[in-house]
Structure 1
């Protein structure tokens, strides 16, 4: 079954304390190659049947009205993911 993936991130001007905590932990673990971490949210919406333009529009609407807080977050991706069947191509 296809899925629609929605990624939501804090707006750039919004402080991200979880991201800062993760960045600090990475540094303490010796992972010093990262200058900043921003933590967001990922939603996976499973679709029964085919993903039509109408279904995709419903996902976009849900992303901006329910899955994100438009005051402090941006929807960065709404994308259809179709997974290959295991063993395909063998």
Structure 2
């Protein structure tokens, strides 16, 4: 079984990497980019029977800093 965890900074948390990407895109001539938020995707290969609750626990304990990040779980 595979799962993808999408981790993003929560709204209101400054995103310096996103700002740098936005600036770089503008410098390269790409106009109309009004904002960029950068996150990460973690792909997990799990044993059959692993529950979404267990994946959520992995996120809470290690994969996401829940003070400043939110996450979503996608089973593939």
Tell me, yes or no, whether TM beats 0.5.
Answer: yes
Tell me whether 15-24 or 58-67 shows the greater mean CA deviation.
58-67
What TM-score, normalized to structure 1? 0.76
Deviations 1:4-39 (A, max 9, x none): 000111111110000000000011111113210011
> Which residue of structure 1 lines up, in the alignment, with residue 35 of structure 2?
36
C-alpha distance in 2, partners of 1:80/1:38? Answer: 23
> Which residue of structure 2 lines up, in the alignment, with residue 25 of structure 1?
24
> Which residue of structure 1 lines up, in the alignment, with residue 74 of structure 2?
79
Q: Following TM superposition, by how much is the alpha carbon of 1:56 offset from its aligned partner in structure 2, in angstroms? A: 2.1
Query: Equivalent residue of 2:51, what SS?
Result: helix
Query: Equivalent residue of 1:32, what SS?
Result: coil
Query: Equivalent residue of 1:61, what SS?
Result: helix
CA RMSD in angstroms, aligned pairs only: 1.3
C-alpha distance in 1, partners of 2:58/2:40? Answer: 14
> Which residue of structure 2 lines up, in the alignment, with residue 88 of structure 1?
none
C-alpha distance in 2, partners of 1:8/1:18? Answer: 14
Which ranges of structure 1 fall in alignment gaps of 5 or more residues? Answer: 82-90
Deviating beyond 6 angstroms after TM superposition, the runs of 4 or more aligned structure 1 residues are none
How many residue pairs get aligned? The number is: 76
